[in-house]
Chain A
Amino acid sequence: MSHDPSIWITALLTLAIFSFLWRENPVFRFAEHLLVGVSAGYYVVQYFYSGVVKKLIVPVEQNFAANGLLIFGGVLGLLMFARLWRRLAWLARYPIAFYVAAGAGYFIPSILEANVLKQIGGTLTAPAAAATPFALFSAVVMAAGVLASLVYFYFSVEHRGAVGVVSRAGILFLMIGFGASFGYTVMGRITLLIGRFQFLFRDWLGLGL
């Protein structure tokens, strides 16, 4: 068993969170709100240090001639805080418009290439790259599945006749995909629990590997 007081504090807080499994209780609520408060404090320090000090104050101090224009970014950032006062909240529209539109601007060509063109390319070239008959079969099934899934989500045409058949095939592929997602989600959640048990048993109680 550990003699480190820090480990004991962590272990007790961990058990306080786990107490929620029995039912909601004041110990859990205290731990939950403690987490919220400490996280909020931690994050605001990181945001200020990384976003304001490192990205604005330090470069402007290092070389005002080259980096002076960064101050305009600081002004936009300050305008964001106008949201805290209802009469001045409209001022925050400028930094929001800037941020959202800048992101939308470079989003278009980047996502078009990565999420659309490269994906279509991967689908069409897979059969040619197949080294064995089974790989060729899989590549054809994959290509058919991509097409069927896309047809399922195309609601501008009624899903009847040939379109209906392809759409229903698309549902089958989607169900298999969601089943696989469920399996991997379970895997991920169990791993998180393994991590906490390893801390409790190994680091706190000194048991197991």
Chain B
Amino acid sequence: MLQRSLPIFFAGLVGIFMAVQYFVLHPGMARIYNLVLDWKQVVFACTLMLGVFSLIRFHWRKIARRTADAFYSLVVVISCSITVLAAAVFGTETGPYTWLYDRVQAPMQATMFSLLAYFVASASYRAFRARSVHATLLLLAGAVVMLGRVPTGDLIGFELHGQRVSLASIAAWILDTPNLAAKRGILIGVGLGMISTSLRIILGIERAYLGLSRGTGADI
């Protein structure tokens, strides 16, 4: 019971309270609501710290087993330790900790993601094929938006009934009308799906997030 039923019951209690308090303005409810939100933040911080500890444990084990790429795991563990020590000894406002962020982490993280520009170019060349009507429509919409949403999009156009129709205005219409319709349809559908999943969690039907299977409540 302690391992299976009680966590599910606890989840239901907390979930129902948080759903109901949205509509109840009683000061007592507000105090408990604020307390729950504060506890959530501490739990979340501990969860994220657990993630980092797991990462270090994973690499530490690779070093201990002297696997083929144990050197790189050593790089991870040493650089993590130096960063934490820098914060502990010199503080987080200035010094080696902020230097590591400004000169190592931030630029390297930015560079990692900038590689995507090259891969999107390569993927566009290799995979973006007008094989069907749908694919052609997708391709045309993409091309119009790409060319319309840069300054040259305002320069390419024609006159229609005394009004200037530019690539930029066509791109804007695509974004404001068919794109908006599609995104809104997806938003509503996903929203309803997420509400349904939340209800299933609160009612104890969905238990996979606790590592339990449905029905029997056995460990997955």
Contacts and interface: CB of A to CB of B under 8 A. Distances in A.
A and B, direct touch (CB closer than 8 Å): yes
A30 B73 CA distance: 10
Given A55-B41, A193-B114, A38 B15 contact: no
A70 interface: yes
Interface residues of B, number: 122
Interface residues of A, number: 113
B184 A119 contact: yes
Contacts of B199: 104, 108
Interface in B120-141: 120, 124, 134-135, 137-141
B103 A6 contact: yes
A183 B149 contact: yes
Contacts of B177: 138, 141-142, 145
B145 A9 contact: no
A102 B190 CA distance: 20
Contact of A186 (B49, B115, B124, B187): B124
Nearest to A83: B50
Contacts of B110: 192, 195-196
Contacts of B189: 149-150, 153
Interface majority SS on A: helix, strand, loop or mixed?
A: helix
Given A90-B3, A111-B195, A73 B83 contact: no
Listed residue (B10, B79, B179) with the most chain A CB atoms within 10 angstroms of its CB: B179
B217 to A, nearest CB: 11
A95 B192 CA distance: 26
Interface in A161-209: 170-187, 189-190, 192-193, 195-196, 199
Query: What are the 5 closest A-B residue pairs judged by CB atoms, nearest first?
Result: A51-B45, A145-B181, A105-B18, A149-B185, A41-B83
Contacts of B84: 41, 44-45
